């Protein structure tokens, strides 16, 4: 397979300032006529090279004259051109109905739609399909009016009309030059929820959320989130919307969450549709976050795009940082930070520690689709956050203003962004740039030295960046660490919070006015995305869990206490649970804490995160250790859990931060009641399942029931299935909840569910709900015998034949073999080897599997 390298970047030989597309839409035979105005860029005699995939050119014209002296070389149409500027016309025929990859133009539930990022436009027409070729697009669509009454494309509508043969047409024009990956069109029988937004300079923008008529009632939350996001970006980043219309279309078959096409976002319907009966609070929050994320791309991604795909984090890391800020401002910033760090540890840390580790700005790829990773997105967002911390809010805003101003209308690089941070921030980020080039999660060790009576304490810090595939002997990175000391006797802070920038291998920091034994609160707010090894005792952690004034650090102290206990229990077979129980009781009893925070703080670390702390993962021992602690917590604090899930606390559904917190704690509490082994737990859960007026409580009860054995479990699964039979998004939850069950028979149940009439590999949400959830279920996936590995590999191979991108995304659980005992490791490798040896697999799956074997 061909490897693309960052060091090989060369600017495009030809630019395409104008594109006109004429698309005659038909599910089985769509005609695409493209007219490109091409201009030679610089002095050279290179031919024009156009990318194409899966279509043959039916006609090629240069300046109006048909030519046949073109060649196809390495998938590109190569055409020698004599002059400086020409008009190139091509014609192709494509079949959206047969497009199972969901890249390019495809059909989803009778709607024709496009997905072009990263390299889908070449499946629609011949074009220099790279992000540094910016063009203005004029698009004319023709389609059967009865089947496709709505025709949408990027930019503003220009004209529309009917033809005599039952077809109709529409023309759209996007005045903003854009790369081909931001092109979009949609044709379908769609209903719209319309709204408006008036920008701060008085432009009235028409907003539309387009869905199937039956889904219209579930679009209000997304529309409202869009309006909030538009106002937020004006207020916080000074960014205003720039077209007269902004449309969002929801489709059921989509390879990822959503896509930021200029003026025409296309969404996976799971990130648009919500009502209390079908969407959980998690869904509501995710919808608002993704709507905001795609909207924010209008500036961080569209107005300023990426020069090449190695710069992907330029738009993705920054835009994730922006959407995190938006979500933090909608409710509890502390809870949002906890959720984001939990996600980083669940997805990015393992990636950074495994065979697919790569820098935030990668050096090479086989298939760019494999690089839409937690590292590019979430670690990339942490890099922006660290720069914001180093600069402080005012200078960070000045730096983003400079960036937006200087690079508007261009295709930029990560380096351009950092240079703006330096210039407007007045700081030197030379060494900070290592974060972009070195993979791996830095480890920091911290020891606090205090001589009683001296009034002084010294914190010794040391860092190490671990080796990752292809990278050894790394340099120390720049780590902004927020820290503060607290007095162990009084519980009071000893001095202010300090921002320490650790940029060497080791450093010592001295604190004065230390009048009593100090306890250090480290990496507050998770100011650097690192692993901390500290010598803090269980008593110190319990102390911080009670007294720290940084909510994240408070949560973190509790997590560390739980983690230390669980690691000890896993290794030694048992551990003293008293300290954890006392800390959880204190947290539950603290009336000053909001319930959402309490719910997060009392949750035990995930099984996979416990595994990440061990040299060899023992899935069964981890599960048993965690269950034992859950049982003891459940028993010891029974009255408190029952109070938190008391039916008397229920009130009519409202999507407010306070009510969300109450529901979150209720469902965590219900889980603990069940974990205690109380005989009435299934009845309690079933009662909640039946009485719930919202999906959060219904699904929370279902999850608890599915985690145990009872008559109520089977009844609830049955009722749930029939109640939501027509709703694909809720059926996904039905599959997913079972695939995540901790019970022993989950592997067999999952294999059975793959045969269920409602299971299909053709829909990515459904495939992820079963296969993705199973891969994330540590106990079930790694159950003795290796059946889970074989089943996953079989599913991946079957899915790869339809949809390589989605198949490749589900492979990483198999790649973690180095973390397991030799028996498991050999079995996992055997499955990877079987995948690599299968003829005709996609380069997507090949890259993931072959790199995982190395
Ligand atoms: N930019 C798209 C992701 C495209 C993924 C292509 N494999 C959505 C987003 O990050 O906003
Ligand atoms: Zn994005």
pLDDT at 399: 99
Q: What is the model's pLDDT at position 720? A: 99
Domain containing 781 equals 724-854
Residue 536 lies in a domain: no
Decide if 375 is inside a domain: yes
Mean pLDDT over each residue of the chain, to the nearest integer: 98
Confirm or reject: Cβ of 259 under 6 Å from ligand 1: yes
Ligand nearest to the CA of 265: 1
> Catalytic residue among 294, 367, 422, 847, which?
294
Sheet holding 518-521, edge to edge: 498-502, 479-487, 518-521
- CB-based burial label for 35 (10 Å; 0-12, 13-18, 19+): middle
Q: What per-residue confidence (pLDDT) applies to 361?
A: 99
Flag whether the pTM goes above 0.95: yes
Same domain, 137 and 111: yes
Q: Is 64 left (phi over 0), alpha (psi -120 to 50) or beta?
A: left
The predicted structure's pLDDT at residue 437: 98
Last residue of a domain, one of 158, 189, 220: 189
Per-residue pLDDT averaged across 473-483, rounded?
98
Residues 371 and 461 in one domain: no
Distance 117 CA to ligand 1 centre (A): 7
355 three-class SS: coil
Residue 21 lies in a domain: yes
Note whether 383 and 495 are same-domain residues.
no
In this structure, are residues 137 and 124 in contact, taking their beta carbons and an 8 Å threshold? no
Average pLDDT over residues 280-308: 99
For residue 372 and ligand 1, the question of a CB distance below 6 A is answered with yes
Residue 208 domain-assigned (yes or no): no
Question: Residues 635, 637, 639, 641: what is their CA dihedral angle, to the nearest 10 degrees?
Answer: -100
Residue 236 lies in a domain: no
Together in a domain, 431 and 450? no
pLDDT band at 312 (very low <50, low <70, confident <90, very high): very high
Give the distance (Å) from ligand 2 centre to CA of residue 184.
Answer: 16
- pLDDT for position 853: 98
Residue 107 lies in a domain: yes
pLDDT the model gives residue 649 = 87
Say whether 328 sits in a helix, a strand or coil.
helix
Element (H, E) at 794: helix 787-802
Last residue of a domain, one of 169, 189, 209: 189
User: Which stretch of DSSP H or E encloses residue 520?
Assistant: strand 518-521
Q: Is 817 in the pocket of ligand 1 (CB under 6 A)?
A: no
pLDDT of 570 over the 90 cut: yes
Write out the two tokens for 413: 């690089």
Q: Are 322 and 427 members of one domain?
A: yes
Q: Using a 6 Å cutoff on CB, does residue 661 contact ligand 1?
A: no
* Total domain count, the chain: 4
- If you compute the radius of gyration of the chain from its CA atoms, what whole number of angstroms results? 28
Pocket test for ligand 1, best of 259, 302, 843 (most atoms within 8 A of CB): 259
Retrieve residue 322's tokens. 């922006």
- If one counts every other C-beta atom within 10 angstroms of the C-beta of residue 538, the result is 17
Q: Residue 787: what pLDDT?
A: 97
Tell me if 579 is assigned to some domain. no
Q: Are residues 145 and 184 in the same domain?
A: yes
Pick the residue whose CA is nearest to atom 10 on ligand 1.
316
- Whether 112 and 129 map to the same domain: the answer is yes
Cα(361)–Cα(375) distance, integer angstroms: 9
Could you tell me if the CB of 619 is within 6 A of ligand 1? no
Cα-to-centroid distance, 56 and ligand 1 (Å): 27
Q: Are residues 43 and 167 in the same domain?
A: yes
- Expressed in angstroms and rounded, the spacing between residue 37 Cα and the centre of ligand 2 is 30
Q: Which residue has the tokens 């909840």?
A: 737
H helix runs in 518-618, sequence order: 538-547, 551-572, 578-589, 595-601, 607-612
Share of the chain above pLDDT 90, in %: 99
User: CA–CA separation, 312 vs 297, rounded Å?
Assistant: 12
End position of a domain, from candidates 147, 167, 189: 189
Based on the domain organization, do 513 and 420 belong to the same domain?
Answer: no
Q: Which ligand is nearest to the CA of 254?
A: 1
Indicate whether 493 and 376 sit together in one domain: no
H-type alpha helices, 740-777: 746-753, 764-767, 773-776
218-257 confidence digits (pLDDT tens): 999 999 999 999 999 999 999 999 999 999 999 999 999 9
- For 641-794, list the strands marked E by DSSP: none
What crossing angle do the helices spanning 843-853 and 822-837 adopt, rounded to 10°?
150
CA distance 744 to 637: 27
Q: Is the CB of 256 under 6 A from ligand 1?
A: yes
Nearest to 290 by CA among 340, 318, 326, 238: 326
- Taking CA atoms only, the protein residue closest to ligand 1 atom 3 is 259
299 pLDDT band, cuts 50/70/90, is very high
Mutate to test the pocket of ligand 1, among 119, 122, 256 (most ligand atoms within 8 A of CB): 256
Q: Is 423 left (phi over 0), alpha (psi -120 to 50) or beta?
A: alpha
* Enclosing H/E stretch for 197: strand 191-198
As to burial, measured by CB atoms within 10 angstroms (0-12 exposed, 13-18 middle, 19+ buried), residue 453 is exposed
pLDDT exceeds 90 at position 113: yes
Look at the alpha carbons of 822, 823, 828, 831 in this order and tell me if their dihedral is positive or negative.
positive
- Centre of ligand 1 to C-alpha 256, Å, is 7
The domain spanning residue 414 has which CATH number? 1.10.390.10
Across 427-438, average pLDDT: 98
Domain CATH for 467: 2.60.40.1840
pLDDT score, position 392: 98
If asked whether residues 87 and 37 sit together in one domain, one would say: yes
Q: How many whole angstroms from 284 Cα to the centroid of ligand 2?
A: 18
pLDDT tens digits, 692-715: 999 999 999 999 999 999 999 999
Mean pLDDT of 823-836: 98
Helical H segments across 238-356, by residue range: 281-296, 312-330, 333-343, 349-352
Query: How large a percentage of the chain has pLDDT more than 70?
Result: 100
Q: What is the DSSP string of 411-448?
A: EE-HHHHHHHHHHHHT---TGGGHHHH--S--EEEEEE
Q: Are residues 400 and 518 in the same domain?
A: no
For atom 9 of ligand 1, the residue with the nearest CA is 259
What φ, ψ does residue 505 adopt, rounded to 5°? Answer: -60, -40
Q: Is the ipTM of this complex over 0.90?
A: yes
Which CATH number belongs to the domain containing residue 839 in this structure?
1.25.50.10
Give the tens place of pLDDT for each residue, 544-556: 999 999 999 999 9
pLDDT range class, residue 13, cuts 50, 70, 90: very high
Is omega for the bond preceding 118 within 30 degrees of 0, making it cis?
yes
- The answer to whether residues 829 and 836 touch, using CB atoms and an 8 Å cutoff, is no
Q: Which parts of 41-103 are beta strand (E)?
A: 48-51, 59-62, 65-66, 71-73, 76-79, 85-94
Q: Which two tokens stand for residue 813?
A: 């659980």
Active site residue 294: yes
- Reported as a single tens digit per residue, the pLDDT across 322-350 is 999 999 999 999 999 999 999 999 999 99
Residue 657 lies inside a defined structural domain of this protein: no
């Amino acid at each position: 397979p061909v490897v693309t390298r960052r060091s090989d970047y060369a600017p495009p030989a030809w630019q395409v300032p104008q594109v006109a597309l004429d698309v005659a839409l038909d599910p089985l035979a769509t005609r695409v006529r493209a007219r490109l105005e091409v201009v030679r860029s610089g002095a050279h005699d290179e031919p024009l090279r156009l990318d194409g995939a899966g279509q043959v050119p039916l006609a090629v014209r240069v300046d109006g004259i048909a030519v046949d002296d073109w060649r196809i070389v390495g998938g590109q149409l190569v055409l020698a051109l004599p002059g400086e500027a020409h008009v190139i016309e091509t014609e192709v025929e494509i079949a959206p109905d047969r497009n199972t990859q969901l890249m390019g133009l495809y059909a989803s539930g009778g709607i024709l739609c496009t997905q072009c990022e990263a390299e889908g436009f070449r499946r629609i027409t011949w074009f220099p399909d790279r992000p540094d070729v910016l063009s203005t697009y004029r698009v004319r669509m023709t389609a059967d009016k009865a089947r496709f009454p709505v025709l949408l494309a990027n930019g503003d509508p220009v004209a529309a009309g009917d033809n005599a043969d039952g077809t109709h047409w529409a023309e759209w024009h996007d005045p903003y030059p854009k790369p081909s990956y931001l092109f979009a069109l949609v044709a379908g029988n769609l209903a719209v929820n319309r709204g408006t937004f008036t920008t701060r300079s008085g432009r009235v923008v028409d907003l539309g959320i387009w869905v199937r008529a039956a889904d219209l009632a579930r679009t209000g939350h997304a529309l409202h989130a869009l309006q909030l996001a538009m106002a937020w970006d004006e207020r916080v980043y000074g960014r205003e919307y720039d077209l007269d219309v902004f449309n969002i279309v929801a489709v059921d078959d989509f390879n990822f969450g959503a896509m930021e096409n200029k003026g025409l976002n296309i969404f996976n319907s799971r990130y648009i549709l919500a009502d209390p009966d079908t969407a959980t609070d998690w869904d509501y929050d995710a919808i608002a976050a993704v709507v905001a994320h795609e909207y924010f791309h209008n500036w961080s991604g569209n107005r300023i795009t990426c020069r090449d795909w190695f710069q992907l984090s330029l738009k993705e890391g920054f835009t994730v940082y922006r959407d995190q800020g938006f979500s933090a401002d909608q409710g509890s910033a502390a809870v949002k930070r906890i959720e984001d760090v939990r996600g980083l540890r669940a997805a990015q840390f393992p990636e950074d520690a495994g065979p697919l580790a790569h820098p935030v700005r990668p050096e090479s790829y086989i298939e760019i689709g494999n690089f839409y990773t937690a590292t590019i997105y979430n670690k990339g967002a942490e890099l922006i956050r660290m720069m914001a911390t180093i600069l402080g809010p005012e200078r960070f805003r000045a730096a983003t203003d400079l960036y937006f101003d200087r690079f508007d209308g261009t295709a930029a690089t990560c380096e351009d962004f950092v240079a703006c941070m330096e210039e407007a921030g007045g700081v030197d980020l030379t060494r900070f740039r290592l974060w972009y080039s070195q993979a791996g999660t830095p480890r920091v060790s911290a020891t606090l030295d205090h001589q009683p009576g001296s009034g002084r304490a010294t914190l010794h810090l040391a860092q190490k960046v671990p080796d990752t595939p292809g990278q050894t002997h790394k340099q120390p990175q720049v780590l902004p660490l927020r820290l503060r000391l607290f007095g162990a006797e009084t519980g009071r802070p000893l001095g202010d919070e300090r921002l320490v920038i650790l940029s060497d291998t080791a450093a010592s920091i001295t604190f004065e006015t230390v009048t009593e034994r100090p306890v250090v609160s480290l990496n507050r707010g998770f100011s650097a995305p690192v692993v901390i090894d500290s010598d803090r005792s269980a008593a110190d952690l319990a102390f911080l869990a009670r007294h720290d004034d940084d909510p994240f650090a408070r949560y973190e102290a509790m997590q560390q206490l739980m983690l230390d206990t669980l690691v000890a229990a896993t290794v030694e077979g048992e551990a003293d649970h008293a300290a954890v129980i006392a800390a959880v009781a204190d947290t539950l009893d603290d009336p000053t804490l909001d319930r959402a925070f309490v719910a997060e703080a009392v949750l035990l670390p995930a099984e996979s995160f416990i595994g990440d702390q061990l040299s060899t993962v023992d899935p069964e021992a981890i599960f048993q250790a965690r269950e034992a602690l859950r049982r003891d917590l459940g028993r010891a604090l029974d009255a408190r859990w029952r109070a938190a899930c008391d039916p008397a606390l229920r009130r009519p559904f409202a999507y407010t931060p306070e009510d969300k917190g109450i529901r979150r704690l209720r469902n965590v509490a219900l889980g603990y009641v069940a974990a205690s082994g109380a005989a009435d737990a299934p009845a309690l859960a079933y009662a909640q399942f039946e009485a719930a007026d919202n999906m959060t409580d219904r699904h929370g009860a279902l999850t608890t029931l599915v985690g145990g054995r009872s008559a109520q479990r089977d009844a609830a699964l049955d009722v749930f299935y029939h109640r939501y039979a027509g709703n694909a998004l809720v059926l996904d939850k039905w599959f997913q909840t079972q695939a995540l069950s901790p019970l022993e028979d989950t592997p067999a149940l999952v294999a059975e569910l793959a045969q269920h009439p409602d299971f299909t590999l053709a829909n990515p949400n459904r495939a992820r709900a079963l296969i993705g959830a199973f891969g994330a279920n540590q106990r079930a996936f790694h159950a003795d015998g290796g059946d889970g590995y074989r089943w996953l590999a079989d599913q991946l191979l079957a899915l790869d034949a339809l949809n390589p991108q989605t198949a490749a995304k589900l492979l990483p659980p198999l790649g973690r073999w180095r973390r397991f005992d030799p028996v498991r490791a050999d079995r996992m490798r055997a499955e990877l080897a079987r995948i690599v040896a299968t003829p005709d697999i996609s380069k997507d799956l090949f890259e993931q599997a072959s790199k995982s074997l190395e």
